[in-house]
Amino acid sequence: MSEAAPDLTLAILTYDRPRGLEATLRSCLAQRNTLGLTMEIVVVDNHPAGAGGEVVEALSPASPWPIRYVSDLARNMATLRNRGFMEARGRWLAVIDDDETADADWTDALVGALKATGADIAVGPRFAVFEEGGPPAYDPEGRQFVRDLGLPDLSEIALTGPSGRPRYGLGTGNSIFDLKRCFPDGRSAMREAFGDAGGEDAELFVRLHRQGRRIVWAARARVTETVFRNRTAIPYRLLRTRRETQHYVSIYIDGARHPALARVELFVKGLIQTALGGVLSWLTLEHRSTSRLRWRLLIQHGLGKLTWRRPVGFIDEASA
């Protein structure tokens, strides 16, 4: 007799971050679960050393829910994320990253948001703690490292404007999907064409929104990301900004009503932003500063619009 499917699957994708994975898993195992959900946890490990397996083995005996460990060495982020979706057996799939920890009522808040609104997808806020003790000098409030849409709890997210322009770039970390309603034909969630360049999760949200799926803001479903020092380094922030802008351009053009017009618009904006940012960066001596980044970020926004056909792709990060 086959085992009954759980209500909820928690999926974690990990890469050579065993301490982070352990903290993530412990926060998942500490869920209050006042809704009385049956759950499972799936860990997809993308590192050949398989350190995540040791973490799962150590925590499994005391876990109130089964933890399944999957090794997948595919070098494509869309393929890896799809593996998490494919392994899910629950009605709902919640995703959390291996550098995030969840509040104790996280699953209650995510599932509760779907139940209260009848929506297909919910996403929640991500706050930040910094490995170096505080945010970098160029962003003293740490706003670049936080996802908070500032919307009322349970409000619907208008993800694109009338022209098809994306309003928000959402990632799958701290999100939940009603799997049958989002993927009724059983197709893969992520488009693998985006997997090498990145942006596959942002594209997924926009595509589902365009298909009529309802996405709501679950303000009480909070996670906290550990921001490692390499992610606050100025060269990393600049390169990441260019890459995220390239994702925005690709997604916008992919769904624009008039793609040729959108390309021209974005090209002109890219020229203006690159030129203006370059001039102001030098006039204000920002290019020598470690506490100011505004105009250099504007340059990267411009370059992202000009170079979107030559994507930055994977950014190699030191193991944290």
Residue-wise pLDDT tens digits, 183-210: 998 888 888 877 666 788 999 999 999 9
Question: Looking at residues 21-49, what average pLDDT do you find?
Answer: 96
What is residue 77's predicted lDDT score, i.e. its pLDDT? 81
Residue 125 clears pLDDT 80, i.e. is over it: yes
What is residue 76's predicted lDDT score, i.e. its pLDDT? 80
Residue 166 clears pLDDT 90, i.e. is over it: no
Question: Looking at residues 232-261, what average pLDDT do you find?
Answer: 93
Q: Is the pTM of this model over 0.85?
A: yes
Helix boundaries (H) for 140-178: none
Question: Looking at residues 94-115, what average pLDDT do you find?
Answer: 97
Residue 27 clears pLDDT 70, i.e. is over it: yes
- Provide the greatest CA pair distance for the chain: 73
3-state DSSP call for residue 108? helix
**What is the residue whose two structure tokens read 């193991």?**
319
Strands, sheet with 8-14, edge to edge from the N-terminal-most edge strand: 67-71, 39-45, 8-14, 92-95, 175-178, 121-123, 215-217
User: For 196, which DSSP code?
Assistant: T
Output phi, psi for 169, to 5 deg.
-105, 100
What is residue 86's predicted lDDT score, i.e. its pLDDT? 94
**What is the residue whose two structure tokens read 């322009």?**
165
Give 257's pLDDT tier (boundaries 50, 70, 90).
Answer: confident
Residue 1 clears pLDDT 50, i.e. is over it: no
Nearest to residue 179, comparing CAs of 12, 9, 3? 9
